[in-house]
Structure 1
């Protein structure tokens, strides 16, 4: 069977895609590929100047495309609520929400709301945004929520007794917890979407050359350097999860090559922790309590 590439993305004319962190790296490549196929693309970004520059670059490469920029700071619940209000006001339908933005192995920091930065940005920020936009997704036939996880989910666990790493902090452990949370969220969301035409899927890029790796420890950076692929290839798993007509809710896409580090996208497996139902439900309840966002689902 031939590998799945961006050429396999179906026509996206008439569809609206909101992509977080879309001014650079995987998010930019995802936005560019969807715009090239006719989608109306919203770059949801923290830095408006960088977002406008990315939108302009896509527009010059593909004249006539519809690319907009939305300010969004995933480290602030106030910003997330404001962005969601603006997106809901401007769009009656959202076909794709791609939760792509993230931070990786940062020094210990907190978000504006006091959450550990990696857990707060990668998981809680996207949890809140998804919940606040879900009515638009549910109103759109065959819509999708795609959340970007990582091979790093295998290095973490959900430390319910110290979610914000207040007692102890490990850059790798906190990243692993956040990326595991992305998968737990996806699987629980898919279960709660039963009976609707909206589905939730997840993806990971393997080892990709993006700005996300700027905080990597040198030993990890050297290891990744042996398998690294460019951002255009790294974006293929989330593009497939977002557009391939054969995708089923709850599937996880990643590179099909060595250790899921590089290669063309296919359905891949996640670890046993990510499939623990009790942990999925508990994390959901905790996330609603921390963010104050309750999903409009039965």
Structure 2
């Protein structure tokens, strides 16, 4: 039996992955913000006869303090982790700043994944074949890192914030491989494509119409999680890899630039220290 942490485990892809892992007999630490949705997940696990193998931690991953509290709780209860699946994401048409002073999308989509990846690395290293699966957007040809304005204070757009978040996660993967060069942990950047239960967000009227059209055309979540489950079943041999809907991607170009990854790692450290 493996032990895995799944963020965003009460909705969409994260919820489907958590339930699939439970069906396979594994233990799941489910991170989510909504207590009612957490209770629903626990009830579904009980229906599967897996109530003793699921552990819900209510946490708002858009807040650094809460993310670190969740990490501390995990560290207090588990000595090793076989996998970490990063799914938490929430779109916002309007810019929102958290009580800690971070732009919400930046904090949730990037900072929480940075913290969970790096601060649980030693628990992952204690497992025989550990893997991090960052469900993000590698393989997408648009989106740029606004180095002088990482939190999109100027001319905020929800789409731009989302696309920048995907680019930051690409560099997070590169940076993780750099910082943990001697580690056995495999880091996978994985784009499963859209599924009908995804698109969590708060949209303006125009974007809401577009999202409904995308949801109609998207694949069922059971199909969307297949590449994720495949990686969790058999982690790759490379320290870092990326794929889009099951097809491997070359780790080349600006999206995976090593110098940019080092720059982002340093900037992130400064932000978190401040």
Separation in structure 2 between the aligned mates of residue 146 and residue 268 of structure 1, nearest angstrom: 15
1:241 lines up with 2:231 in the alignment: yes
Q: Name stretches of at least 5 consecutive residues in structure 2 with no aligned partner.
A: none
Match of 2:137 in 1: 150
1:221 lines up with 2:211 in the alignment: yes
- Is the alpha carbon distance of 1:247 and 1:59 closer, same or farther for their aligned partners in structure 2, counting shifts above 3 Å? farther
Note if contact 1:254-1:266 (Cα within 8 Å) is conserved in structure 2.
yes
Note if contact 1:95-1:143 (Cα within 8 Å) is conserved in structure 2.
yes
Q: Report the CA distance between 1:247 and its aligned residue.
A: 5.1
Other structure's SS at 1:44 match: strand
Separation in structure 1 between the aligned mates of residue 232 and residue 93 of structure 2, nearest angstrom: 28
Separation in structure 2 between the aligned mates of residue 292 and residue 242 of structure 1, nearest angstrom: 33
Q: Report the CA distance between 1:85 and its aligned residue.
A: 0.8
1:1-298 to 2 correspondence within 5 Å? 13=1, 15-63=2-50, 66-150=53-137, 153-215=140-202, 217-218=207-208, 220-221=210-211, 224-225=214-215, 227-246=217-236, 248-255=238-245, 265-269=246-250, 272-292=253-273
- Is the alpha carbon distance of 1:166 and 1:90 closer, same or farther for their aligned partners in structure 2, counting shifts above 3 Å? same
Deviation per CA, 1:170-205: give whole Å up to 9, x if none.
111111001111111012212332222111111112
Separation in structure 1 between the aligned mates of residue 148 and residue 105 of structure 2, nearest angstrom: 17
Separation in structure 1 between the aligned mates of residue 235 and residue 57 of structure 2, nearest angstrom: 28
- Is the alpha carbon distance of 1:82 and 1:276 closer, same or farther for their aligned partners in structure 2, counting shifts above 3 Å? same
Q: Report the CA distance between 1:269 and its aligned residue.
A: 4.8
Root-mean-square deviation (CA, aligned residues, Å) is 2.3
Separation in structure 2 between the aligned mates of residue 247 and residue 123 of structure 1, nearest angstrom: 25
Q: Report the CA distance between 1:231 and its aligned residue.
A: 1.5
Note if contact 2:13-2:198 (Cα within 8 Å) is conserved in structure 1.
no
Note if contact 1:152-1:179 (Cα within 8 Å) is conserved in structure 2.
no
Separation in structure 2 between the aligned mates of residue 271 and residue 207 of structure 1, nearest angstrom: 24
Q: Report the CA distance between 1:218 and its aligned residue.
A: 4.6
Count of aligned residue pairs for this structure pair: 271
Note if contact 2:96-2:103 (Cα within 8 Å) is conserved in structure 1.
yes
Which one is further off, 281-290 or 229-238? 229-238
Q: Report the CA distance between 1:141 and its aligned residue.
A: 2.6
Q: Name stretches of at least 5 consecutive residues in structure 1 with no aligned partner.
A: 1-12, 256-264, 294-298
Note if contact 1:29-1:235 (Cα within 8 Å) is conserved in structure 2.
yes
- Is the alpha carbon distance of 1:29 and 1:271 closer, same or farther for their aligned partners in structure 2, counting shifts above 3 Å? farther
TM-score w.r.t. structure 2 length? 0.90
Q: Report the CA distance between 1:42 and its aligned residue.
A: 0.9
Note if contact 1:148-1:182 (Cα within 8 Å) is conserved in structure 2.
no
Q: Report the CA distance between 1:61 and its aligned residue.
A: 2.3
Other structure's SS at 1:191 match: helix
